[in-house]
Amino acid sequence: MVDGHDVFRELGYLQQALSQNRKPLGFMISAGCPLSIRVNLKDEVGEDGETWTRSDPLIQDIAGLTREIGDNIIAKKDKNSIVWDKVIASFKEDGVENPNIEGILSFVRGLRGVAGKGEVRGLTCTELEGLELRICEIISEEVDRELPDANSPYHNLAIWVRSIPRESPVHLFTTNYDLLAEQALEEEGAPYFDGFIGSRKAFFDLAAVEDEKLMPSRWTRLWKMHGSINWRLEDNGSVTRGLQSEKNKNYLIYPSHLKYDESRKMPFLAMMDRFKDFILQQSSILFMSGYSFGDEHINNLLLEALRSNPTAMVYGLLHGNMMDETGKPDIKYQKARELALKTPNLALFSSDVGIISRREKPWIAHDEGQGSLPVGMVKEPKTKTSDFCECKIGDFLVFTDMLKNISGPRNSDVE
């Protein structure tokens, strides 16, 4: 008999966890999630005469966003393009060939903080400030998108959130700068608290964040761990959330983990505290989708909290395979794999392999079949001679199909 994790049994456990209303439940929505929403669909004919559908992701992941920003800045051939080239050259001097935009932005802000009236690495404070502003402007332009319709994965999540009374509020953590979660929650009438109070120019209220347990459990908690395109640093030092303004382009997007002034670092530290505090709750369960475990700060908080609270459970839902074509661990999930193999209460679900209770095994499907799981969640073996199958839960679209399976269709779907 082939040794492996029973995919139907393990997915059944996930569905059971999502179906109850007593334990604290949380979700991490990361850069891979908007990739599941495809736009600009167009049928194209290949050289072999076969027709296929081309589409674009609603929002690029970090790698795609990095390419877009680099291409945009370089194409302008202005001062910012010269500064960009110098920054990228500095990374290469330090042995980093392909930095992502969050690392670049953190690096630029770090240099700006020590440049003063002089230069650092051949760059002045004014030059670095100009590049930082341009990077944030392009990020805002690239991620300022709306969900195309009300049948999106985000809407399925919002409907599930408000579908039943809960003893503990649902916590939504996101590293994304976009407003997709806010759009879905608002369109589905799911109230939420994100740390800001007010309407015209909502201000960040640290005391309310720290006392969020006093708020109604039906209010979802939305914590934007890397900031948002509608966060601003005002001239008086306060942090606000509201409509974009041409007058104020002090975007609070992605925190450098270097030293910040107090007003700038306050929201980010508070969000990270919410993340750690949630995992430290008794019997908490966190589902992480679209996250590749590439943020060391988040990884360290996660590992520390899981070690401190053995009753907590975290499920990392990974898109694609954990192993490469040669059967060796793929480098893109190397850190995730390392963490799961030494952390009993961190489980990973990739397409080809699961790591559960520190045991790494391929997926197998027993005869009892799919049961109450949504169709398409498991891809059966192509041949009768193979015992292995694929688990598709790492796709945010498929994962939220499970939520839809639990909460039922929205009213308009059955009319």
What would the two tokens of residue 305 be? 């909290």
> Residue 84: pLDDT above 80?
yes
Residue in this structure with the two tokens 């969050």, named with its chain if needed? 102
d(CA 164, CA 406): 10
Q: What is the pLDDT of residue 106?
A: 86
Amino acid occupying residue 406: I
The string of DSSP letters for 91-158 reads: HHHTT-SS--HHHHHHHHHHHHHHHTTSEETTEEHHHHHHHHHHHHHHHHHHH----SSTTSHHHHHH
Share of the chain above pLDDT 70, in %: 88
Closest CA to 285 of 334, 347, 226: 347
> Residue 257: pLDDT above 80?
no
pTM of the model as a whole: 0.90
> Residue 342: pLDDT above 90?
yes
d(CA 144, CA 234): 21
d(CA 342, CA 361): 15
Q: What is the pLDDT of residue 102?
A: 86
Q: What is the pLDDT of residue 148?
A: 93
Residues 6+ apart with CB under 8 A from 271: 173, 195, 223, 224, 225
Helices (H), 27-124: 62-76, 79-93, 101-115
- ∠ CA 385-388-391 to the nearest 5 degrees? 145
The answer to whether the CB of 353 falls within 8 A of the CB of 323 is: yes
Enumerate the domain spans of the chain: 5-39+149-413, 62-143
> Residue 385: pLDDT above 70?
no
Which of the pair, 389 or 286, is modelled with greater confidence? 286
Strands 25-29 and 313-317: unpaired
Taking residues 193-206, report their average pLDDT: 92
Which of the pair, 364 or 260, is modelled with greater confidence? 364
Residue pLDDT, tens place only, 51-67: 666 688 999 988 999 99
Q: What is the pLDDT of residue 415?
A: 44
> Residue 383: pLDDT above 70?
no
Residue pLDDT, tens place only, 89-132: 999 999 998 899 988 988 998 898 888 888 899 999 999 999 99
Q: Is 48 helix (H, G, I), strand (E, B) or coil?
A: coil
Closest CA to 249 of 224, 228, 232: 232
